[in-house]
């Protein structure tokens, strides 16, 4: 069906989208850039790996567990580090720093765990170079992950949309993002909103890591490498829109695989080594052109102008198109 590289790209992009969605969620609510996302993703991937080793089955069965692990990590971070700092009204950079410390602790635990695992259970278990795609099944001649993960990403965004617009708590969350003081006046407990953002964000980070693990090989520094495209997607999405982050993740992930593939046709195989540079280029270009990300672009205005332009060319009255809004 589709080339295997593109299938891997689709899986990778979906995982990236989920993780970026988590980063944006946490940043929107608590203005904290979560460095710990890197190793929360690694924790998610290793959760799935461990379960697969012991109980076999399909990796997808353990994705909810990965989400749960991430949610617990997020809640721990909020209760011990982020919450007290937020109450103290710490600066953005201090908030970032504190998550960096948390990230290093998580990294060290991953390292210890992997070494412990390696010593206790000998090969064929190789946690240092874990490839989860080997446990996948095939649907219609292509890996199931290439179908399931995009559906999961889109479904999660739809779920978030419904949650944010229909559920009472979701609306409270949006109100807190827009104006924390005013939300407090109306009686919204901002503490609970922050906690919820950490739980959802952390869960998405680990889930994203578990999904990405279906496309790339997991090692101890898996998250540390993946954090750059995650941030790039989040920035591409504009940092203030969950949907933008998902779109950004899809664009960055697919571009990473697609552009490398196209360049490798032209320049040869050595291009693959530079894959990590592509998200950087996308990020740089985005920040140059739109400092507020894709979601910050006035799409409505642009579309209106475009419609007016094409309408004018086609001879149809542009008024009708523009006047509807």
Partner 1 sequence: MRALKSLRGAKGVELTKLLLRVDFLALLACIALLAYLGLSFGKDMVLSVLLEFSIFLIVTLSLNIETGLTGVPQFGRVLCVTAGAFIVGGLCGRIVAWTLGKECGWAYAHHTTNYPLITEINSMLMTNAGLSVLIFIMYLIFAAIAGGFFGWLISRPAIRLREAYLGISLLAFGDLLYWIGYNWEPLVGATNAVHVPDPFRFIWAYRYEAVTIVYFLIALFMLFIAEKLVRSPFGRDLKMLRDCELAAQVYGRDIVKVRTLSLIIGGAMAGVAGSLWVVYTGSCYAGTFTRLMWTFWPWAYMMLGGIGSNLGVALGVLIFVILRTMIMIYRMSLKPYLPFDPVWLEYTLCGLALVIIVLFRPYGLVPEKPVSTLPREQIEEMLKKARERVKSS
Least Å from the CB of residue 238 to partner 1: 11
Is residue 197 within 8 Å of residue 26, measured between CB atoms?
yes
Cα dist. 318→306, 315, 325 in Å? Answer: 10, 8, 13
9, with CB counted inside 10 A (0-12, 13-18, 19+), is: buried
Least Å from the CB of residue 203 to partner 1: 22
53 belongs to the binding site for partner 1 (CB under 8 A): no
115 belongs to the binding site for partner 1 (CB under 8 A): yes
Q: What is the DSSP letter of 258?
A: H
Among 1, 137, 262, 276, indicate the residue that binds partner 1 (CB under 8 A).
Answer: 276
Task: Supply angle C-alpha 27, 205, 207, rounded to 5.
Answer: 145
Least Å from the CB of residue 123 to partner 1: 17
287 belongs to the binding site for partner 1 (CB under 8 A): yes
Task: Please name every residue paired with 139 in a beta bridge, in sequence order, or none if there are none.
Answer: 142
267 belongs to the binding site for partner 1 (CB under 8 A): no
Among 87, 108, 158, 184, indicate the residue that binds partner 1 (CB under 8 A).
Answer: 108
User: Of 80 and 165, which CB lies nearer to partner 1 in the complex structure?
Assistant: 80
Among 13, 21, 199, 232, indicate the residue that binds partner 1 (CB under 8 A).
Answer: 232
Among 10, 13, 24, 27, indicate the residue that binds partner 1 (CB under 8 A).
Answer: 27
251 belongs to the binding site for partner 1 (CB under 8 A): no
Query: CA-to-CA distance for 172 and 112, rounded, in angstroms?
Result: 40
231 belongs to the binding site for partner 1 (CB under 8 A): yes
Neighbouring residues of 10: CB distance < 8 A, sequence distance ≥ 6: 2, 146, 149, 150, 253, 254
Among 277, 303, 316, 317, indicate the residue that binds partner 1 (CB under 8 A).
Answer: 277
263 belongs to the binding site for partner 1 (CB under 8 A): no
Q: How far apart are the first and last CA of the chain?
A: 42
Nearest to 95 by CA among 180, 2, 198: 198
321 belongs to the binding site for partner 1 (CB under 8 A): no
The three-state secondary structure class of 103 is helix
Is residue 39 within 8 Å of residue 208, measured between CB atoms?
no
Among 5, 51, 76, 96, indicate the residue that binds partner 1 (CB under 8 A).
Answer: 96
121 belongs to the binding site for partner 1 (CB under 8 A): no
Is residue 7 within 8 Å of residue 142, measured between CB atoms?
yes
The sign one gets for the Cα dihedral 86, 90, 92, 93 is: negative
Binding to partner 1, residues 177-206 (CB under 8 A): none
Q: Judged by CB under 8 A, how many residues of this single chain contact partner 1?
A: 48
112 belongs to the binding site for partner 1 (CB under 8 A): yes
Least Å from the CB of residue 117 to partner 1: 9
Residues that bind partner 1 (CB under 8 A): 27, 31, 33, 80-81, 84-85, 90, 92-94, 96-98, 100-109, 111-113, 115-116, 119-120, 224, 228, 231-232, 235, 239, 270, 273-274, 276-277, 279-280, 283-284, 287, 291
């Amino acid at each position: 069906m589709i080339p295997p590289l593109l299938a891997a790209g689709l899986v990778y992009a979906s995982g990236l989208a989920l993780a970026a969605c988590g980063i944006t969620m946490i940043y929107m609510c608590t203005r904290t850039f979560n460095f710990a996302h890197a190793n929360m993703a690694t924790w998610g991937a290793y959760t799935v790996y461990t379960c697969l080793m012991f109980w076999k089955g399909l990796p997808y069965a353990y994705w909810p567990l990965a989400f749960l692990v991430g949610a617990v990590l997020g809640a721990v971070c909020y209760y011990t580090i982020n919450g007290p700092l937020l109450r103290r009204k710490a600066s953005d950079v201090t908030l970032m720093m504190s998550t960096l410390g948390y990230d290093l602790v998580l990294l060290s635990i991953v390292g210890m765990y992997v070494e412990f695992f390696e010593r206790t259970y000998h090969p064929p278990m190789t946690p240092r170079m874990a490839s989860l795609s080997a446990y996948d099944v095939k649907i219609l001649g292509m890996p199931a992950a290439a179908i399931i993960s995009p559906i999961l990403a889109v479904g999660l965004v739809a779920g978030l949309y419904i949650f944010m617009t229909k559920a009472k708590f979701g609306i409270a969350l949006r109100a807190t993002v827009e104006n924390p003081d005013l939300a407090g006046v109306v009686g919204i407990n901002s503490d609970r909103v922050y906690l919820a953002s950490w739980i959802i964000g952390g869960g998405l980070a680990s889930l994203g890591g578990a999904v990405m693990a279906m496309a790339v090989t997991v090692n101890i520094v898996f998250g540390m490498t993946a954090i750059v495209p995650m941030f790039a997607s989040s920035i591409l999405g504009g940092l203030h829109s969950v949907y933008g982050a998902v779109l950004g993740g899809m664009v960055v992930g697919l571009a990473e695989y697609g552009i490398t593939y196209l360049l490798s046709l032209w320049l040869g195989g050595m291009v693959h080594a530079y894959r990590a540079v592509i998200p950087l280029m996308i990020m740089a270009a985005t920040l140059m052109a739109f400092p507020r990300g894709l979601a910050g672009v006035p799409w409505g205005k642009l579309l209106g102008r475009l419609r007016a332009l094409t309408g004018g060319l086609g001879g149809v009255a542009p008024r009708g198109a523009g006047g509807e809004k």
